[in-house]
């Protein structure tokens, strides 16, 4: 069996496991950096490997528009194209169509939209999303879903029905998980009964993993945690659980406590490009004048190349001077910070000390000195 | 003696040597990548080391304006600040003052100008340039000179006189070469008698190395080669010769044939940011539609990380998508290309085959397929 999820240890609802894929094992909990356009912004693949990345995400919507899935396929698929030999996950394109593109028409069959790059008219259906993702060749592919604002009940209810129907069509268009594992996406916003309905619909279809979609899209943190409290237990114990789009340190900790295994987020590279760094004491704005003569590394607890070699004063200089190296070093550090955070939680689960780790982490992270 | 130049072998006027510095040896001929703001744009120091960089240049004018030489000195000097443990050269600031800043006043004492960053008024004199460079702490520092348009004889003649007077003041302000070696700069434009006068003035002052300034600033290639033909023999055999601002492959070859040892240029990183790559067949525009499905590396003869791992199709995608990784990979490759070119010429000199190497290189480089 090329895909196989092993739970090694649990503590409360939290689990430490391994998801085996054709391109290698993914130890969980795991943070997956995002390579929207077949590159994690400002990070070389060999450096991603060095900082412990096991799973990298890429975006179907962006790659469909540019360079196109046919070119990626001709170049040997996404692993070869972007020189990332490890596991890759592609999303379905649904989230980006609804957030980035100008939608011309949406109905039960699919979505017609205009490219945000050149305005050309395009169409996504569950079948088209599957075909694109098959050509891209990622290890984990996602069902085409509709992700609405999570707090408007009528809209969410309609999206649940559509997502269930589309999930079935995705399964039919991709019946064989031996080379690419198709994950279903549970919608339902912040409503327990709608999450239950969505989960029941998806469980009837056989998926090797389940994502929780429609969170971290504007609701409060507490609403997200509450939703995880009732949604995670609806999912099977023996399949990986992926919380889409979440990747700030405190949310990751809260979600691991609630049984989530997989995370992805653009946050570490995005805030890097704005000159900010994750630290155990919260986010540090590298433009601060107070850092102009600060000889300390960005994060004294960190083992990355940035923190092992450069001072805050130097990083501040690079950010102020708008140098690309600032993006490179801060992206590397911020991703390493989240990967290390996931590694630390995994180790804590294996040692039975997760509650203590999370309490200590959150106390320091949420109450900066 | 902390600085010492060894000529290992000559072929015609060309030499293979080693310039020993307190931060390590510089095998010559050498290409020095430029780190204007204390970073070679889009390249990590460890990657510079991997591609064989031995000498890195940085700019006094830029570092004086931001972050300021006092901060660099407090952070342990430029080597520590930018995490480059090898040899560093700083220019004098003269070239940038005359090319980037708005000059308020220039006289025999120095130059008053406005910062191109914030408009603040600043002043450079030979003594101030020395003091700034002493604080920055590079291994090789440059005399403060005036670099005019090379073809206007009256202007060039006045600049030679001023440059000679300033060179003497620099020598007096920096009398000891044991920690930082001060190089003189020969001016004189394209005029043989003015180059001779400038060289004679500088030879009376004791410098451990000599630069040829005022070339590659708008004159024709042939005028530059002709100027090198008569200028290089005016310089001592036992001191390194540095041709400032030159670093395109054909000019480097022509200059090595004429006895130049050291080169620097922003070209490899600048053209990288415009999506172009050096190849043995000339410069390749990575945006070319013809590359969209090209599985070959950028340069099949190259041993760099970019060429060993990525296709032209992928690089084209990155350039079109405006991804930072395009700048990173093309900068790495372009610098490696020039370093390898210098390494190849050095090996050829040691083997007595420089003429054949240069003829073969130029034939292919200047006559693209």
Distance between CA atoms of residues A303 and A301, nearest Å: 7
What average pLDDT does the structure give for chain A? 96
Query: Are A195 and A231 contacting, i.e. CB atoms less than 8 angstroms apart?
Result: yes
List strand residue ranges (DSSP E) for chain B, in order: 4-11, 14-21, 24-28, 30-33, 56-58, 88-90, 102-106, 111-114, 121-124, 140-142, 181-186, 210-212, 241-243, 262-265, 276-279, 282-285
pLDDT over 80 at B369, yes or no: no
Q: What is the pLDDT of residue A148?
A: 83
Domain span(s) for CATH 3.20.20.105 in chain A: 10-265
Chain B positions touching A41 (Cβ under 8 A) are 323-325
Which residue is associated with the tokens 């990747």? Answer: A247
Distance between CA atoms of residues B114 and B111, nearest Å: 10
Q: Which of A47, A91, A251, A299 is catalytic?
A: A91
Give the distance, in angstroms, between the CA of residue A299 and the centroid of all CA atoms in the same chain: 23
Say which CATH class A10-265 falls into. Answer: alpha beta
**Which of A41, A75, A317 is closest, CB to CB, to B323?**
A41
Q: What is the pLDDT of residues A196-219, one digit of tens each?
A: 999 999 999 989 999 999 999 989
**Which of B37, B46, B321 is closest, CB to CB, to A323?**
B37
Give the distance, in angstroms, between the CA of residue B224 and the centroid of all CA atoms in the same chain: 16
Q: What is the pLDDT of residue B112?
A: 94
Helices (H) and strands (E) counted in chain A, each on its own, are: 15, 16
Alpha-carbon Rg for chain A, nearest whole angstrom, is 20
Give the best residue of A324, A331, A333, A335 to mutate against chain B (max B CB count within 10 A). Answer: A324
CA-based nearest residue in chain A for residue B74: A293
Dihedral (Cα; B197, B201, B204, B209), 10-degree rounding = -100
CA-based nearest residue in chain B for residue A326: B42
Mean pLDDT of A52-65: 98
**B320 vs A66: CB contact, 8 Å cut-off?**
yes
DSSP H or E stretch at residue A285: strand A282-285
Give A342→chain B minimum CA distance, Å.
26
Which residue is associated with the tokens 């129907």? Answer: A165
Q: Helix B192-204 to helix B153-173 angle, to the nearest 10 degrees?
A: 10
Q: What is the pLDDT of residues B15-62, one digit of tens each?
A: 999 999 999 999 999 999 999 999 999 999 999 999 999 999 999 999
**B324 vs A71: CB contact, 8 Å cut-off?**
no
Q: What is the pLDDT of residue A369?
A: 57
The two tokens of residue B82 are 């930018």
**A318 vs B39: CB contact, 8 Å cut-off?**
yes
**A38 vs B314: CB contact, 8 Å cut-off?**
yes
Q: What is the DSSP letter of A214?
A: S
Q: Which residues are CB-neighbours of B99 under 8 A, at least 6 positions away? A: none
Q: What is the pLDDT of residues B57-102, one digit of tens each?
A: 999 999 999 999 999 999 999 999 999 999 999 999 988 888 888 8
Degrees to nearest 5, angle at CA A338 with A336 and A343: 90
DSSP H or E stretch at residue A112: strand A111-114
Q: What is the pLDDT of residue A102?
A: 84
At B8, phi and psi to the nearest 5? -90, -35
| Residue-wise burial string across B175-189, b where 16 or more C-beta atoms lie within 10 A, e elsewhere | eebeebbbbbbbbbb
Beta bridge partners of A352: none
Query: Are B134 and B180 contacting, i.e. CB atoms less than 8 angstroms apart?
Result: yes
The number of C-beta contacts closer than 8 angstroms across A and B is 106
DSSP H or E stretch at residue B231: helix B221-231
**Which of B66, B293, B310 is closest, CB to CB, to A317?**
B66
**Which of B81, B305, B313 is closest, CB to CB, to A75?**
B313
Strand pairing category for B210-212 and A14-21 = unpaired
CA-based nearest residue in chain A for residue B309: A83
Q: What is the pLDDT of residues A172-185, one digit of tens each?
A: 999 999 999 999 99
Known catalytic residue: A201? no
Degrees to nearest 5, angle at CA A266 with A260 and A272: 125
**B313 vs A41: CB contact, 8 Å cut-off?**
no
| Inter-CA distances, A14 with A4, A49, A358, B50, Å | 19, 26, 12, 42
DSSP H or E stretch at residue A57: strand A56-58
Distance between CA atoms of residues A210 and A215, nearest Å: 14
Query: Are A70 and A64 contacting, i.e. CB atoms less than 8 angstroms apart?
Result: no
Q: Which residues are CB-neighbours of A209 under 8 A, at least 6 positions away? A: A5, A19, A140, A181, A183, A184, A239, A240, A241, A242, A262
**B37 vs A321: CB contact, 8 Å cut-off?**
yes
CA-based nearest residue in chain B for residue A316: B67
Chain B positions touching A327 (Cβ under 8 A) are 324
**A81 vs B329: CB contact, 8 Å cut-off?**
no
Which residue is associated with the tokens 């979600």? Answer: A255
pLDDT over 80 at B1, yes or no: no
CA within 13 Å, CB half, A36: 18
| Inter-CA distances, B261 with B49, B269, B349, B352, B357, Å | 20, 21, 12, 16, 17
Mean pLDDT of B226-232: 98
Chain B positions touching A48 (Cβ under 8 A) are none
Name which of B3, B25, B1, B5 is nearest B85 in CA terms: B25
Mean pLDDT of A43-53: 98
Q: What is the pLDDT of residues A254-289, one digit of tens each?
A: 999 999 999 999 999 999 999 999 999 999 999 999
Give the best residue of A83, A325, A331 to mutate against chain B (max B CB count within 10 A). Answer: A325
Which residue is associated with the tokens 């390898």? Answer: B340
Give B59→chain A minimum CA distance, Å.
13
Chain A positions touching B314 (Cβ under 8 A) are 38, 75, 81-83
Domain span(s) for CATH 3.20.20.105 in chain B: 4-265
Q: What is the pLDDT of residues B306-354, one digit of tens each?
A: 999 999 999 999 999 999 999 999 999 999 999 999 999 999 999 999 9
Q: What is the pLDDT of residues A91-144, one digit of tens each?
A: 999 888 888 888 888 899 999 999 999 999 999 999 999 999 999 999 999 999
Which residue is associated with the tokens 């399964």? Answer: A171
Strand pairing category for B14-21 and B24-28 = antiparallel
Q: What is the pLDDT of residue B102?
A: 85
Q: What is the pLDDT of residues B267-286, one digit of tens each?
A: 999 999 999 999 999 999 99
Q: What is the pLDDT of residue A368?
A: 60
Residue A223 Ramachandran class (φ > 0 left, ψ -120 to 50 alpha, else beta): alpha
**Which of B74, B76, B314 is closest, CB to CB, to A82?**
B314
Q: Which residues are CB-neighbours of A298 under 8 A, at least 6 positions away? A: A277, A279, A284, A286, A306, A307, A310, A312, A315, A330, A333
Q: What is the pLDDT of residue B234?
A: 98
pLDDT over 60 at B217, yes or no: yes
User: Catalytic residues of B, which ones?
Assistant: 91, 264
Q: What is the pLDDT of residue B122?
A: 95
ipTM of the complex: 0.97
Give the best residue of A67, A68, A84 to mutate against chain B (max B CB count within 10 A). Answer: A67
**A325 vs B39: CB contact, 8 Å cut-off?**
yes
Q: What is the pLDDT of residue B368?
A: 59
CATH architecture, domain B4-265: Alpha-Beta Barrel (3.20)
pTM higher than 0.95:
yes
CA-based nearest residue in chain B for residue A38: B318
Query: Are A100 and A61 contacting, i.e. CB atoms less than 8 angstroms apart?
Result: yes
The two tokens of residue A155 are 């809209």
Q: Which residues are CB-neighbours of B117 under 8 A, at least 6 positions away? A: B65, B66
pLDDT over 60 at B367, yes or no: yes
Mean pLDDT of A56-68: 97
Dihedral (Cα; B265, B267, B272, B273), 10-degree rounding = 100
DSSP H or E stretch at residue A276: strand A276-279
């Amino acid at each position: 069996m090329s895909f196989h999820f092993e739970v090694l240890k649990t503590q409360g609802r939290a689990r430490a496991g391994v998801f085996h894929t054709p391109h290698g094992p993914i130890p969980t909990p795991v943070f997956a950096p995002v390579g929207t356009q077949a590159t994690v912004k400002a990070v070389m693949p060999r450096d991603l490997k060095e900082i412990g990345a096991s799973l990298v995400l890429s975006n179907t919507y962006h790659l469909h528009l540019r360079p196109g899935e046919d070119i990626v396929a001709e170049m040997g698929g996404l692993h070869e194209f972007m020189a990332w030999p490890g596991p890759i996950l592609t999303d379905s394109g649904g989230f980006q169509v609804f957030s980035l593109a100008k939608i011309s028409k949406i109905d039960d069959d699919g979505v017609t939209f205009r490219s945000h790059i050149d305005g050309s008219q395009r169409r996504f259906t569950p079948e088209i999303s599957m075909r694109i993702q098959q050509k891209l060749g990622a290890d984990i592919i996602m069902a085409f879903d509709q992700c609405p604002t999570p707090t408007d009940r009528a809209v969410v209810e309609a999206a649940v029905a559509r997502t269930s129907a589309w999930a079935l069509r995705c399964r039919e268009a991709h019946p064989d998980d031996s080379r690419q594992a198709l994950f279903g996406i549970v919608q339902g916003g912040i409503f327990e009964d709608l999450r239950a309905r969505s989960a029941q619909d998806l469980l009837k279809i056989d998926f090797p993993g389940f994502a929780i979609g429609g969170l971290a899209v504007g609701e409060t943190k507490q609403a997200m945690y509450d939703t995880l409290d009732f949604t995670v237990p609806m999912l099977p114990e023996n399949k990986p659980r992926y919380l889409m789009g979440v990747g700030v340190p405190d949310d990751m900790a809260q979600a691991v406590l609630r049984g989530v295994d997989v995370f992805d987020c653009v946050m570490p590279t995005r805030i890097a490009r704005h000159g900010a760094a994750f630290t155990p004491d919260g986010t540090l704005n590298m433009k601060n004048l107070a850092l102009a003569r600060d000889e300390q590394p960005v994060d004294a607890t960190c083992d990355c190349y940035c923190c092992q070699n450069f001072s805050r004063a130097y990083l501040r200089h690079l950010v102020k001077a708008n140098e690309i190296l600032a993006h490179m070093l801060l992206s590397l550090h911020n991703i390493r910070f989240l990967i290390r955070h996931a590694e630390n939680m995994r180790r804590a689960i294996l040692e039975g000390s997760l509650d203590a780790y999370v309490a200590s982490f959150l106390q320091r992270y949420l109450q900066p000195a």
